[in-house]
Structure 1
Amino acid sequence: MKRRDCLKAGLTLPLLPMLLKAGPAVAATRARVRPGAAGWPAAAEWDRLSRAVGGRLSVPQSPFLADAATRAAALEQLQNPFFLGDSPALTQTSGYFGAWRSVSSAKVVAAANSADVAAAVNFARTHRLRLVVKGGGHSYHGTSCAPDSLLVWTRAMNQVELHDAFVAHNARPGTAPQPAVSVGAGAMWIDAYDAVTTRGGRYVQGGGCTSVGVTGLVTGGGFGSFSKAHGTAAASLLEAEIVTADGQIRTVNADNEPDLFWALKGGCAASFGIVTRMTLRTHDLPDTFGGVSCQIQASDDASWRALAVEMLRFYRDTLCNPHWGEQFTFKDTRRLSISMVFQGLSRDAAEATWTPFLDWVRARPAYTITEPLQALAMPARDFWDADFFRQHAPGLIAEDTRDGASSRHMLWKGDQGQVGWFLHGYASAWLPSVLLDDAQREQAAAAICAAADHMDVGLHCNKGLFGAPAAALAASRDTATHPAVLDAFALAIIGNASGPVYPGLGRTVDEPQARRGALNVARAYQALSVVAPSAPAYVSESDYFQKDWQQAFWGPNYPRLQAAKRRYDPQGLFVIHHGVGSEDWSADGFERIGG
């Protein structure tokens, strides 16, 4: 714990007896309390909590439901993820059809440090409140919002600190120091990349979308553009500070409470506590990062399937290695869209890599290259440098346009379509490497094309670790993420969405359109299931209605996660949709139904 947090904890301790009238151990309850119901804290009790957290308790209000001037200013920022993240009443995803909508909590603690988080946790436990936590707010399952709840909002805890020689707390004797970065719970990946890469000249394995919160991505497993080289983001976790259900601030690592530490590496931290800080291993930075894009149109179904077969072969033989990441997508118009990144290659080398595949395409009149191959390479240190892109490629980024906004905050233009989106349906499946074998590749290609008849199918190569080096595989194996990721050559993602529908926007969900979208996602997923039946799914990008989710997300790791849950949160204070232990609670997290 930082010295400042220790001091804050000391100032808070005299107030804890008032916050914990019932003491740290409370009897198991089968229901949580809602505003206006018997047991909801009185004004005086809320005042005591407010004083304990330095006055940082408030009622969150959506800017879209505020006065005319505030609402007008908010509407101008509707596609700005940094603006959405700066409001405790909003989430980056505005809902999921038939599942949830973005609705603000009853109260919010804007935590500035771990002592604030502990005070909020103790208060929620004592008064039987529904508790949620939000850092980045990108959850597709709505885990960072819940009506009638107390929200712990960690946005202000965004410190980033580099270490040349980090050794974990209470590490076993002889543990070698290593380069690392410590990141506060509210930091986004652009904050981490700016410190580690742009200014520090190293690499940390994180997410592709720069406005995503570091903590949520890492503890959900976590993939980025270059995971094929370094493994999952969770595999780089060296240590975490977490507030557990008993209000204790714990520092956990491989040698200190290792079961809880392991659970945080892919088991979704919000099921076990509230992470306040984490430390991640950093890696040597390659000379270059870059990307390629291309689009190819097939004229008929037979040539479309042949193109899919050849793309899978080319990927297996040439691209399934640590140099390459991101995706190629099979569109419902018989169009192959390639959008991939690379590391450690020059632009010429990247273009030469694709020459055999493009020669195969050009030799066949059934195909038209509708967008010729474009390749861009740059010094790796500039990959997340907003100033570099402003000068050399401004069309590739979008920025935080508010007065006083950080000049470092930018996102890829292609990610802007996800800002505030309302999901109609979503599904993912890890595709095993055996589908690339000569004996199965044609069948796999046929299933992918059949799926694409209903909805676009993206194959995210960096989200499957087949082809990764041994060290990355070993580190990723020692996480809670489903072991299927180790042999998956890609994560297939199928999704459909429309624009934002936050309360106050004056927009309603087009239900017939949403139903069609959800049905087409389901049909595409079913077609793909012919070659990948009961395929495991990535918890952070998956169907809200995922069947047999315990096995789909964690497989053989689930019993160990349950054991950690029983030890550190026996009464189920922390409940998220399809999180560890959530089968004991109602869908809204208010009624205990088992356990």
Structure 2
Amino acid sequence: MNRRRLLQIAAAAQFGNPWGPLAPAHAAAPAARVRPGDPDWPSEAQWKQFGDQLGGDALVKVPSPFAPCLEAPAGPACTQFFKAVKNPYFLGDEIGLTQTLGWVDAWTSSPSVHAVAARSTADVVAAVDFARKNRLRLVVKGGGHSYQGTSNAPDSLLVWTRRMNQVRLHESFVATGCDAQAAPTRAVSVGAGAIWAHVYDAVTTRGGGYVQGGGCMTVGVAGLVQSGGFGSFSKAYGLASGSLLEAEVVTADGRVRIANACSEPELFWGLKGGGGGSLGVVTRLTLKVHALPESFGAVNMTIKASSAAAFRRLIGLMVDFYASSLHNPHWGEQIRLRPDNTLRLEMVFQGLSRSEAQAVWRPFLDAVEAEPEAFKIEFSPLKIVSTSARDFWSPTLIKRALGFISSDDRPGAPEANVFWPGDQGQAGQVLHGYQSAWLPAALLHPERRPTLCDALFDASRHWRVSLHVNKGLAGAPPEAIAAARDTAMNPAVLDAFALVISGADGPPALPGVAGREPDAALARRQAAAIGRAVDELRKRVPQPGSYLSESNYFEPDWQRSFWGANYPRLLAAKDRYDPDGLFFVHHGVGSERWSADGFTRIA
């Protein structure tokens, strides 16, 4: 009995299989998809007929955005291209580009042959039907932020949802069919192509509410929610998927389905953390809007230890302080550890005034300042700052002047096209290596802290590591944890106090472009160092689990790592809504049944 059938049986046994006996192993499913040049590839006449059906300019024959560099690597057009790709809004608006340009030895950004620049759900239905009938490799792209390269593929048809970016607030929303079961709540409906900067502008800056979204403002809403979704304040408000009230989805059969707790509940559950592009094309999401705190704030400082021994003690001070004072819904974001014995704090807070935040940090700062020979705090007059929560994402004059927020620099760009300066490094990056692991809150117990501190110190000897404390829900309010429990995410997130991340990247680069090629040798050395760093943590936390969107492309046991015990249930949902495997992404649900490029069925 093969592994797939075992998983099917497990899913049926555990969840009562509400759809009856599982179908046979795809006896009528296509064995392979077609590529340009294959006899079954649609003819030009068929493509024209499809374009006429869509109308307007929806069907696009995608030009290669890399052509100027391939033709003249030293030319002005290529120089301008490499300058432009540092603007995340330029990348998002280009149909043939992705926010990350590749991952050495893993994937390279490659444009599709054709794309449907969808303006409506009807366009998405037409694209899904055309791909299914013609056995095409189908790709879905909204924000294009996938580190795994799932929003691009050569020889494919792309469904590009960027134009479907409407944002609509509801003062009293009840999910379809749930009238008798749910109380009305404030909510926001968002088109699949919207990005978080524009949602925050509508919901917070102009609407005075809060929606749990992503920390990076140019990430697509649909992709983040389907991956589970963390933001700076997730320790208070939980997962983005935990706030999902309803989704409109086009499934592989071309049907438009409304998924919520009362309609298509298994599809709804699978969309909450099961990964984008595996169960269907989401065209609209409706998310809960929470009450907005009075203020948000940030803590930023760098502390340099004078020696490795002093740095180990500094890690101990930080872990003790975090466990006693920061492990609660008020605090989020990052604690960074570097091989040069530097501790970098990039924290945010909510529900506290600036003076209250200063009081929280006083004991830690006193302990550090008491040892000037061992620890040096980088001078900063703005260690702890706060602002009106309503203005947090708005490009106010003072934030622009102080460099706290950056804007799209293209002529005529909308004022709401903003991003955090710290995220600009991701624009056009080429990844060298990336790994993550959830750290259980049990490691914060006094008797376990030395083990945690030793692991963090040993990891930092190999490569830089960051504790993303907003990406573990231990310490969050009970309602946030309950909502997260009702998602497809790996249950390890419920008991984790942080997600540890170690990564490395290089500047924008393109294979085959002289003078602009990735440094493969450097990338491989850095990837090996990252592996050694994270292995130090895995020694103390066997099988910790990893976050789908921020993980190793080469994750060996990805089904368990990303979804844990939830994977059989997800696979059952895949068999229900996409039995022939139309939707394929790298390390997505059911992808083990296909070749690595998604073109040939292997199981």
Say whether the fold is shared (TM-score over 0.5).
Answer: yes
Aligned match for 2:458, one of 450, 454, 461: 450
- Counterpart of 2:361 in structure 1 is 354
1:269 shift after superposition: 3.1
Question: Is 2:218 the counterpart of 1:211?
Answer: yes
Which amino acid in the other structure matches residue 246 of structure 1?
D
Question: Is 2:386 the counterpart of 1:377?
Answer: yes
1:64–1:505 CA contact under 8 A, matched in 2 = no
Closer, same or farther: CA 80–471 of 1 in aligned 2, 3 Å: same
1:223–1:463 CA contact under 8 A, matched in 2 = yes
3-state SS of the aligned residue for 2:436?
strand
3-state SS of the aligned residue for 1:271?
coil
Normalized against structure 1, the TM-score is what? 0.93
Which amino acid in the other structure matches residue 441 of structure 1?
R
Q: What is the aligned-residue RMSD (CA, Å)?
A: 1.6
Closer, same or farther: CA 77–505 of 1 in aligned 2, 3 Å: farther
1:63–1:70 CA contact under 8 A, matched in 2 = no
Closer, same or farther: CA 556–89 of 1 in aligned 2, 3 Å: same
- Counterpart of 2:600 in structure 1 is 591
Aligned match for 1:56, one of 55, 58, 79: 58
Which amino acid in the other structure matches residue 53 of structure 2?
A
Q: Report 1:562-581 matches (<5 A).
A: 562-581=571-590
2:121–2:283 CA contact under 8 A, matched in 1 = yes
Q: Report 1:168-567 matches (<5 A).
A: 168-364=175-371, 365-372=373-380, 374-390=383-399, 393-502=401-510, 506=514, 507-567=516-576
Q: More deviation in 560-569 or 529-538?
A: 529-538
Which amino acid in the other structure matches residue 305 of structure 1?
R
Query: Matches of 1:371 and 1:488 in 2, distance apart?
Result: 33
1:503 shift after superposition: 6.2
3-state SS of the aligned residue for 1:427?
strand
Query: Matches of 2:140 and 2:292 in 1, distance apart?
Result: 33
**CA-to-partner distance for each residue in 1:356-398, whole Å, 9 max, x for gaps?**
001111112311112446111110000011135556x441222
Q: Which runs of 5+ in 2 are unaligned?
A: 1-25
3-state SS of the aligned residue for 1:190?
helix
1:151 shift after superposition: 0.4
1:79 shift after superposition: 0.9
- Counterpart of 1:144 in structure 2 is 151
- Counterpart of 2:102 in structure 1 is 95
3-state SS of the aligned residue for 1:304?
helix
Which amino acid in the other structure matches residue 450 of structure 1?
D
1:399 shift after superposition: 1.1
- Counterpart of 2:135 in structure 1 is 128
1:254–1:261 CA contact under 8 A, matched in 2 = yes
Q: Which runs of 5+ in 1 are unaligned?
A: 1-24
Closer, same or farther: CA 502–508 of 1 in aligned 2, 3 Å: closer
Q: More deviation in 63-72 or 117-126?
A: 63-72
**CA-to-partner distance for each residue in 1:431-456, whole Å, 9 max, x for gaps?**
00111111111111111111111111
Closer, same or farther: CA 26–74 of 1 in aligned 2, 3 Å: farther
Which amino acid in the other structure matches residue 48 of structure 2?
D
Query: Matches of 1:240 and 1:49 in 2, distance apart?
Result: 27
2:248–2:283 CA contact under 8 A, matched in 1 = yes
Closer, same or farther: CA 199–505 of 1 in aligned 2, 3 Å: farther
Q: More deviation in 253-262 or 54-63?
A: 54-63
1:427–1:542 CA contact under 8 A, matched in 2 = yes
Normalized against structure 2, the TM-score is what? 0.92
Which amino acid in the other structure matches residue 61 of structure 1?
P
1:295 shift after superposition: 1.0
Closer, same or farther: CA 483–358 of 1 in aligned 2, 3 Å: same
3-state SS of the aligned residue for 1:270?
coil
Query: Matches of 1:505 and 1:214 in 2, distance apart?
Result: 33
Query: Matches of 1:65 and 1:390 in 2, distance apart?
Result: 38
3-state SS of the aligned residue for 1:129?
coil
3-state SS of the aligned residue for 1:91?
coil
3-state SS of the aligned residue for 1:247?
coil
Query: Matches of 2:513 and 2:188 in 1, distance apart?
Result: 39
3-state SS of the aligned residue for 2:539?
coil
Query: Matches of 2:485 and 2:351 in 1, distance apart?
Result: 25
Which amino acid in the other structure matches residue 67 of structure 2?
L
3-state SS of the aligned residue for 2:403?
helix
Query: Matches of 1:26 and 1:144 in 2, distance apart?
Result: 29
Closer, same or farther: CA 371–553 of 1 in aligned 2, 3 Å: farther
Query: Matches of 2:501 and 2:540 in 1, distance apart?
Result: 15
Query: Matches of 1:585 and 1:518 in 2, distance apart?
Result: 26
Q: Report 1:66-85 matches (<5 A).
A: 66=68, 71=78, 73-85=80-92
Query: Matches of 2:512 and 2:180 in 1, distance apart?
Result: 57
Query: Matches of 2:96 and 2:27 in 1, distance apart?
Result: 30
1:511 shift after superposition: 1.4
Query: Matches of 2:200 and 2:469 in 1, distance apart?
Result: 21
Query: Matches of 1:591 and 1:136 in 2, distance apart?
Result: 27
Query: Matches of 2:144 and 2:333 in 1, distance apart?
Result: 23
Which amino acid in the other structure matches residue 569 of structure 2?
R
Q: More deviation in 459-468 or 291-300?
A: 291-300
1:340 shift after superposition: 0.3
1:78 shift after superposition: 2.0
Q: More deviation in 500-509 or 87-96?
A: 500-509
Query: Matches of 1:353 and 1:65 in 2, distance apart?
Result: 54
Q: More deviation in 149-158 or 434-443?
A: 434-443
Q: More deviation in 50-59 or 192-201?
A: 50-59
2:82–2:508 CA contact under 8 A, matched in 1 = no
1:206–1:223 CA contact under 8 A, matched in 2 = yes
3-state SS of the aligned residue for 1:263?
helix
Question: Is 2:126 the counterpart of 1:119?
Answer: yes
Query: Matches of 2:431 and 2:318 in 1, distance apart?
Result: 29
Q: Count matched residues.
A: 569
1:26 shift after superposition: 11
**CA-to-partner distance for each residue in 1:109-167, whole Å, 9 max, x for gaps?**
10001100010000000000000000000000000000000000000000000000001
Closer, same or farther: CA 574–194 of 1 in aligned 2, 3 Å: same
